[in-house]
Amino acid sequence: MTGPDASPEDHHPATASSAPPALNEVMFGHVHSAALRAVAVHRIPDHLADGPRTPEELAALSGTDAAALRRLLRLLAVRGLFHEDERGRFRLEPAGRPLRTDVEDSQHAGVLMITDPMFTRSAAELPETLRGGRSSFELAYGSPFFEHLHKSPEDRAVFDTGMASLSGREDELIARSYAFPERGRVVDVGGGRGGLLRAVLDRAPGLDGVLFDRPATVAEHLLDGPARAGRWRTEGGDFFEAVPSGGDLYLLKHILHDWNDEDALRILGSVRRAAAPGTRLLVVDAVLPGGGVPHPAVALDIVMLMVVEGRERTAAEFEGLLSRAGFRLRRILPTAALPSVIEAVAV
pLDDT in tens, 91-142: 999 999 999 999 988 999 999 999 999 999 999 999 999 999 899 999 999 9
Instruction: Let me know if 246 is exposed, middle or buried by CB neighbors in 10 A (0-12, 13-18, 19+).
Output: exposed
| Mean pLDDT over the full length of the chain | 93
Alpha helices (H) along the chain: 21-27, 29-41, 55-62, 66-78, 108-114, 117-124, 126-132, 136-141, 145-151, 153-176, 195-203, 215-218, 261-274, 296-307, 315-324
SS3 content of the chain, % helix, strand, coil (to 5): 50, 15, 35
Q: How confident is the model at residue 1 (pLDDT cuts 50, 70, 90)?
A: very low
Determine the pLDDT at residue 269. 98
Q: How far is CA 90 from the centre of its chain?
A: 28
Model confidence at 10: pLDDT above 70 = no
pLDDT in tens, 255-265: 999 999 999 99
> What is the C-alpha separation between 28 and 48, in angstroms, rounded?
26
User: Could you give the 3-state DSSP secondary structure of residue 275?
Assistant: coil
- Within 8 A by CB and 6+ apart from 240, the residues are 263, 266, 267, 270
Determine the pLDDT at residue 338. 92
Q: Which residues are catalytic?
A: 257
Q: How confident is the model at residue 326 (pLDDT cuts 50, 70, 90)?
A: very high
pTM of the model: 0.82
pLDDT in tens, 211-269: 999 998 899 999 999 999 999 999 999 999 999 999 999 999 999 999 999 999 999 99
Model confidence at 19: pLDDT above 90 = no
Percentage of the chain lying above the pLDDT 70 cut: 95
* CA angle centred on 121, ends 221 and 302, rounded to 5°: 75
